A and B are shown apart, each in its own frame.
Chain A
């Protein structure tokens, strides 16, 4: 009997001790500091810590903008200037004229790039979302294994399998063809993965009630699911655009016809092997033309990307 009382007293004491400690600890807690809703000067120290990296990432970009608009005399100037003082479009004109020497007008490279990028984006979104729908909503044999395989394939770096890709591309006759720019890029495991993860967030009740209303899978896919996964679709669009717009491999390996090659390939021939200062101005313009659409698209869609990335985790 007395042992039980003692035990109770001991427990009571322990409880009080823990409560006191929790209160003391809690005094140290000054609110959640992550993701603050407004700016406060206590955030300045974090900005200062980021500053070196921000400079390293921002300076080259600023530089490439100003270099593109420098006149020849400023490109040669000593001391070197980061910013152009007089803006000229000489480099743009030189770049366009240089292209016409190969017999293919500049506009043709732009057309090829735009067309193949657009096709890559649209087809990636279409076949990626179809596959993701089957992963998220439908039941079939091998589903788990296929998804695991797809997840593992995210880390298969495309450059690592360039040699067999070359063989397969020639065997399939995907050479000298605008589709050569598109089809190999459609195998984008990370896109399907992100789409599936995002689709998993769609409430199952929506699917079930649409099913009860007599909708078939294609109707549910098109009318119910696709509008809800727009952020993930936009993310896939960005990734597909990056893969396509920056792609040099297809033009240099699978396409011989100069008229079917794309912008970055043409630019890479300009940049490689030349160290002449005049070529630097043109190269800067070339880099600018490659870079600007990428960044504009990302700025427009960044909210969607961040939204998608919340579900990007691999478990």
Chain B
């Protein structure tokens, strides 16, 4: 008995070990290193030099590029793309659930396809669409329709660049989370609808709020997490769109871009790590908001 039990334990560790080796090395350890290095000056050559909170103080008081561009742009971008992309994903999933199987499959593939590659790798599409000369698709279209008289320099104006980033972000927001929500909606127990109508449910709107969303809360939370992850994939998009590094007037300059700039161009790893910690905190905030919206509230249930 004792012997077999010990053997079982050994097996489990053998099974779990390979994954957790890479998981701890490339996720957990990296977070720890980020936090530790954020309190040091480290140029990758000399041993890290402890500097206390200096990196954070500099980040929030000296670094105008960070405070004026990277931080507000990131927060603005995340606040629009996170919830916006998420709501579009849910609506599309719900609408898709209303049509029959074959059509739904084709349409789901079309809607999902933009998220297969990153917006950065597909930048050529947007460059041609938003090109500043009359040959750009959008300019040509608007000129023909008479909305504008001369071509608009879409990729030169910082507001426009941000707007285009939002557009590209929404374009590719129907990712794995969208598929999860779609699958969730399709798997809701059909008897629930019947029972709810007997209890006085009146419309399809009520159906969404009283049946659909409560039934797929777990998938909604998974979708929200994936939406948060997707939001931060826009690193380098502004540069890819404008073809300039850094982009004009630092338009669309995200914390990730700022971090990569300091980390890999200037080798100020300590300072870049401090930004990495700030970024992880922003991600955490988004995560906790998602959990508080869609997670199972255990303490409330007991009450």
Contacts of A283 in B (CB 8 A): 123-124, 127
A9 at the interface (CB under 8 A from B): no
B160 interface residue per 8 A CB criterion: no
Residue B213 is within 8 A (CB to CB) of chain A in the complex? no
Residue in contact with A313 in the complex, picked from B16, B92, B184, CB distance below 8 Å: B184
Asked if residues A25 and B184 are in contact (CB atoms below 8 Å), the reply is no
| With known contacts A29-B193, A53-B92, A157-B232, A313–B217 Cβ distance under 8 A | yes
State whether B283 touches A160 (Cβ < 8 A).
Answer: yes
| Interface size grouping (class) on chain A | 35 or more
Nearest residue (CB) in B for A78 is B135
Q: Does A223 contact B (CB under 8 A)?
A: no
- Interface 1/0 per residue, A46-76 and B, CB below 8 Å: 1101100110111011011001000000001
Interface string of A283-306 (1 = CB under 8 A from B): 110110011001100110010011
Is B18 touching A47 in the complex (CB atoms < 8 A)?
Answer: no
Whether the pair B183, A50 counts as a contact (CB closer than 8 A) is no
Determine the distance from Cα of A76 to Cα of B128 in the docked complex, in whole angstroms. 11
Interface of chain B, helix or strand or loop or mixed? helix
Q: Is the CB of B25 within 8 A of A187?
A: yes
How many angstroms from the CA of A222 to the CA of B253 in the assembled complex? Answer: 48
A43 in complex: contacting residue of B99, B183, B198, B225, CB < 8 Å: B99
Q: Give A248 to B264 CA distance when docked, in angstroms.
A: 14
B15 x A161 contact (CB < 8 A): no
Q: Which residues of B contact A253 (CB under 8 A)?
A: 264
Q: Does the CB pair A164–B95 fall under 8 Å?
A: no
Q: Is the C-beta of B107 less than 8 angstroms from some C-beta in chain A?
A: yes
Q: Which of B68-127 contact A (CB under 8 A)?
A: 88, 92, 95-101, 103, 105, 107-114, 116-118, 120-127
Q: Report if B249 contacts A (CB, 8 A).
A: no
- A272 at the binding interface (Cβ < 8 Å): yes
Which of B23, B107, B117, B126 lies in contact with A290, CB distance below 8 A?
A: B117
Q: Identify which of A99-107, A111-119, A127-135, A201-209 touches chain B.
A: A127-135
The reply on B204 being an interface residue by CB < 8 A is: yes
Assess the A138–B26 pair: CB atoms within 8 A. Answer: no
Type the 1/0 row for B165-182, where 1 means its CB is closer than 8 Å to any CB of A: 000000100101001101
> Quick check: is A21 within 8 A (CB to CB) of the other chain?
yes
In this assembly, does A146 line the interface, its C-beta being within 8 Å of a C-beta of chain B? yes
In contact, A162 and B33 (Cβ under 8 angstroms): no
Is B303 close to A, CB under 8 A? no
CB distance from A98 to the nearest CB of B (A): 15
Question: Among A78, A82, A160, A310, which residue has its beta carbon within 8 angstroms of that of B232?
Answer: A160
Q: Distance in Å from the Cβ of A30 to the closest Cβ of chain B?
A: 9
Q: A162-B263, A164-B34, A184-B26 are in contact. Are A298 and B116 (CB under 8 A)?
A: yes
24 sample A-B contacts, Cβ–Cβ < 8 Å, listed by A number: A25-B198, A29-B198, A33-B98, A34-B97, A34-B193, A37-B100, A37-B101, A47-B99, A57-B174, A60-B122, A78-B135, A80-B135, A130-B18, A139-B12, A162-B276, A163-B259, A184-B26, A186-B22, A186-B26, A271-B123, A291-B117, A298-B113, A309-B180, A313-B180
Give 6 closest A-B pairs by Cβ, nearest first. A313-B218, A29-B197, A131-B19, A134-B15, A309-B183, A283-B124
